[in-house]
A = this chain, B = another copy of it.
Amino acid sequence: MAKETKNTLRDSVYSALKAMIVTGQIPPGSRVTENDIAARLTVSRTPVREAFNRLERDGLVTGRPRQGYVVTEFDINMFREAFEIRELLDGHATELAAAAATEADKARLRAMLAECERLAAIPERTNREKFQELEVGIDLHRVIAEISGNVMLHGMLCGILDKCQHYVWTELLWLDEWKIARDEHAEIVDAICAGDASRAGTLARAHVRGSRDNVLRLLQAKSDYRNFLAKAS
């Protein structure tokens, strides 16, 4: 997970809070107070405040003046927007990666695929192992963006993935389209290794659209269910 402990408290608090949010330990919609976090991490409020500022800029929490911070809740529309952008950025990054990947890069991607396969092959695996597979699958996209060589593109894509990761986890965990994603990842990596930028990009865009459809279908079902309950009462 690349859990780097920086030398300043502010960075530690930022990393810790971000991890708690991304992994869903602090669920979306929950109110978070400075004193609370400061006490939990045994630091003063100052570094906590600065961490909140950065998280707000990341879009992971939203804060209104004098009303504190709330872990950002995504609605269906925000997901639609995020995936729309991801299709553009991820597609382009994958094209670039196909043109720029060194042998070491290709080996790295193949290793991540193998790790996914290994985790998928475990019989009667627990949620922990499912989470791990999802995480490696998401990291694959981060690494591809890194290989693209466009640092800004990499940063922006990571930002979007961070914002969605928790939802992707908790939602997709119950879906059974895992093998599809694995196959698509394998195809993308293949195209990159073959240096076929055009094919890699097309595959990546289709993959993002597929993920979007899965997530949106689930969220829509949830929403419909809530409406049904509301009408019934």
Q: Nearest residue in B to A65 (C-beta to C-beta)? A: B8
Q: Is the CB of A84 within 8 A of B153?
A: yes
Give Cα A89–Cα B58 distance, bound, in whole angstroms.
19
Taking CB atoms and an 8 Å cut-off, the chain A residues in 57-71 that contact chain B are: 57-58, 65-66
Q: Is the CB of B85 within 8 A of A156?
A: yes
Taking CB atoms and an 8 Å cut-off, the chain A residues in 62-93 that contact chain B are: 65-66, 78, 81-82, 84-85, 88-89, 92
Give Cα A188–Cα B153 distance, bound, in whole angstroms.
25
Give Cα A153–Cα B160 distance, bound, in whole angstroms.
11
Decide: A81 near B151, CB < 8 A? Known: A65-B7, A88-B88: yes
1/0 per residue A112-147: CB within 8 Å of B? 000000000000000000000000000000000000
- The answer to whether A54 has its CB under 8 Å from any CB of chain B is yes
- The answer to whether A226 has its CB under 8 Å from any CB of chain B is no
Q: Which residues of B contact A65 (CB under 8 A)?
A: 6-8, 11
Give Cα A150–Cα B84 distance, bound, in whole angstroms.
9
User: How many copies of this kind of chain does the complex include?
Assistant: 2
Contact for A85 among B6, B56, B153, CB less than 8 A: B153
- The answer to whether A53 has its CB under 8 Å from any CB of chain B is yes
Q: Is the CB of B82 within 8 A of A152?
A: yes
Give Cα A56–Cα B155 distance, bound, in whole angstroms.
13
Q: Which residues of B contact A171 (CB under 8 A)?
A: none
- The answer to whether A209 has its CB under 8 Å from any CB of chain B is no
The residue among A11, A82, A85, A151 with the most chain B CB atoms within 10 A of its own CB is A85
Q: Is the CB of A150 within 8 A of B53?
A: no
Q: Could you show 27 A-B contacts with beta carbons less than 8 Å apart?
A: A6-B65, A7-B65, A8-B66, A11-B65, A49-B50, A50-B50, A50-B53, A53-B54, A53-B57, A54-B54, A54-B56, A54-B57, A57-B58, A78-B151, A81-B150, A81-B151, A81-B153, A84-B92, A84-B150, A84-B153, A85-B150, A85-B152, A85-B153, A85-B156, A88-B88, A88-B89, A156-B156
Q: Lowest 5 CB-CB distances: which A-B pairs, in order? A: A57-B57, A81-B152, A53-B53, A88-B88, A81-B150
Give the interface of A toward B (CB within 8 A): 6-8, 11, 49-50, 53-54, 56-58, 65-66, 78, 81-82, 84-85, 88-89, 92, 150-153, 156
